[in-house]
Amino acid sequence: MSTQSESASSYWRENLRIITTYMVIWFAASYGCGILFVDELDKIQFFGFPLGFWFAQQGAIYVFIGLIWAYVFSMNRLDEKYDVHE
């Protein structure tokens, strides 16, 4: 029982670490590039868009999609590793 709950809590810690990493990227792409530093990034041109504007209206959304799928794959691996998959 104790090894089982140890394994459960280490599974949870790894999950939290993955979530934290991805949430940092989530924040940086949307709030960072799209809102806080948008004016600085606008000085860079990106395929005809000012970069900050592009992040605010398109780029952040692509990053969101990438993040969810990255999380799906990370968690599938983690579930296998700790043998908690269904």
Structure token digits, residue 70? 């990255």
64 binds other proteins (CB under 8 A): yes
Residue 83 — left, alpha, or beta (φ > 0 → left; ψ -120 to 50 → alpha)? left
Residue for token pair 């799906």: 72
57 binds other proteins (CB under 8 A): yes
Contact with other proteins (CB under 8 A): which of 1, 2, 5, 43? Answer: 5
Contact with other proteins (CB under 8 A): which of 6, 10, 17, 35? Answer: 35
Say how far apart CA 28 and CA 15 lie, in whole Å.
20
38 binds other proteins (CB under 8 A): yes
Contact with other proteins (CB under 8 A): which of 12, 17, 77, 81? Answer: 12
